[in-house]
Amino acid sequence: MKFLFSILRLFSPEIAHSISLNGLKIVHNLGLINFFTSKNTHLDSYTLNNLTFTNRLGIAAGLDKNGDFIDSLGALGFGFIEVGTVTPLAQDGNPKPRIFRVFKENAIINRLGFNNKGVDYLVKKLESRKYKGVVGVNIGANKESKGDKRITDYVECFKKVYVLSDYITINISSPNTPDLRDLHSKENIYNLLKSLDSQRQSFNTKKPVFLKISPDESPETLQIILDAVREFNISGLILSNTTIDKSLLQDKSFLNEAGGLSGEPLFNKSTQLVQSIKQLDPSIPIIGVGGVIDKAGYVKKLDAGADLVQIYTGFILKGPDIISELLD
């Protein structure tokens, strides 16, 4: 497995990503996925917001934006999968190159910009999935949408994926869509959550709704977010998205590279955010994500107060081996 991943490093990031996931899908379709899974990944079930997870480790949004790989990723032993970020209309995202790997620091910088095939494509994938585990859908707004249209984008995605998902994540924290993080402000977040809550009331069932926030916000903004979460009955927080703080990297050649930084350099910052939120509100459910690349990081994230943990960069850099490393 390590040899295969060393070969993939020779390809550009997006080509390597495509080869990896499509290769995994082929292996799964051939019935050979058991060679890449651990027998011990389903021994730690956990219940949160009336959802039962086979274990506390999930894959974060961004890896499978369009739901093309739900079944093959699920077969690896994850306790849950989050797909997206999805937008109402398909969009190409930002110009390439837009992913930069910093192997020596177990880090990635990306400025993808919500590249996806649109919500209608994802709906078809959700309808046809065979994976019976928990699947969340991460929703966002199209790049060209501004003001009230941006809120309409979230509502449209919310309506279309609600019945087909186990939970929904409202992504207001990607640094790669211009002004998206403005949704952290009091006026904007209240308008957004009010609109989504109104839509949720129209459904017969109540699905958990999480809010994914930035690690770069001030304590004052965090308090505003918590107040809004309580007022509109948001189920919990996903902490956190990528950071724009490149000073966390030792390699200063990336200091001015646009995009969000993920991986090991983000670990302390995202974990401290989990601790800060828990101090402000010990009762709020948290999915911790950011920089988990080994067992120690996984345990620390849980010890900080996370109920569940997601990985992204660690999976990209280590492959399926990391699942058994964290859970066995």
User: Are 160 and 123 in contact, with CB atoms under 8 Å apart?
Assistant: yes
Report phi then psi at 221, rounded to 5.
-65, -40
Report phi then psi at 83, rounded to 5.
-105, 165
What span, in angstroms and rounded, lies between the C-alpha atoms of 23 and 33? 11
Q: Annotated catalytic, 174?
A: yes
Contacts of 281 by beta carbon, 8 Å cutoff, 6+ apart: 226, 230
List Cα–Cα distances, 314 to 1, 175, 188, 245, in angstroms.
15, 20, 33, 19
- Out of 165, 174, 240, 270, the active site residue is 174
Residue 44 three-state SS = coil
Residue 149 three-state SS = helix
Residue 41 has what DSSP assignment? T
SS (H, E, C) 178-245: CCHHHHHCHHHHHHHHHHHHHHHCCCCCCCCEEEEECCCCCHHHHHHHHHHHHHCCCCEEEECCCECC
Residue 231 CA, chain-centre distance (Å), reads 24
Indicate if the alpha-carbon torsion angle 318, 55, 112, 22 is positive or negative. Answer: positive
As annotated, the active-site residues are 174
